Amino acid sequence: MIQFIDKHHDCFSNEFMRQTLNTHRAGGFITSRGYRQSKTRGLSSRRLRDVALVEHIRKIHAENYGIYGVRKMWHALRQGIDIGREQTTRLMRLSGVAGKPKGRSLKATP
């Protein structure tokens, strides 16, 4: 929501957008104070760790010719990092890395 407000702040006032979005948002609201706090807050520890792990995943993927999928990447990461399989999947998706698909390539007939 913060990114949406920042993107459209030249069309509408921030206060108008927060009031409008709060009426349509279920389960919560954002105040002027909450908006200011979210803008001044730094990155969370999870986000900082994710950035470091994404770079590490890209390096491992490139070193292994781009064939490692989630299972092999998870085993490679577990050598020195405490990481779960689902987290490996999420970070691989975030970094845009995927393993080589199984099966033969189809040949077109002339």
Mind listing the pLDDT tens digit for each residue in 28-84?
556 777 777 777 888 889 999 999 999 999 999 999 998 999 999 999 999 989 999
Give, rounded to a whole angstrom, the gap between the first and last alpha carbons of the chain: 53
Look-up of token digits 């995943």: 57
109 or 64: whose pLDDT is higher?
64
Per the CB < 8 A criterion, the answer to whether 13 and 33 are in contact is: no
Q: Please write the tens of the pLDDT for every residue from 3-37.
A: 777 777 778 776 777 677 765 555 455 677 777 77
Give the residue from 57, 62, 99 showing the smallest Cα distance to 78.
Answer: 57
Return the H-helix or E-strand segment holding 23.
helix 14-24
Question: Which residues, including other chains, have CB under 8 Å from residue 71's CB and lie 6 or more apart?
Answer: 85
Per-residue pLDDT at 95 exceeds 50: yes
The pTM of this model reads 0.61
User: How big is the chain by its Cα radius of gyration, in Å?
Assistant: 21
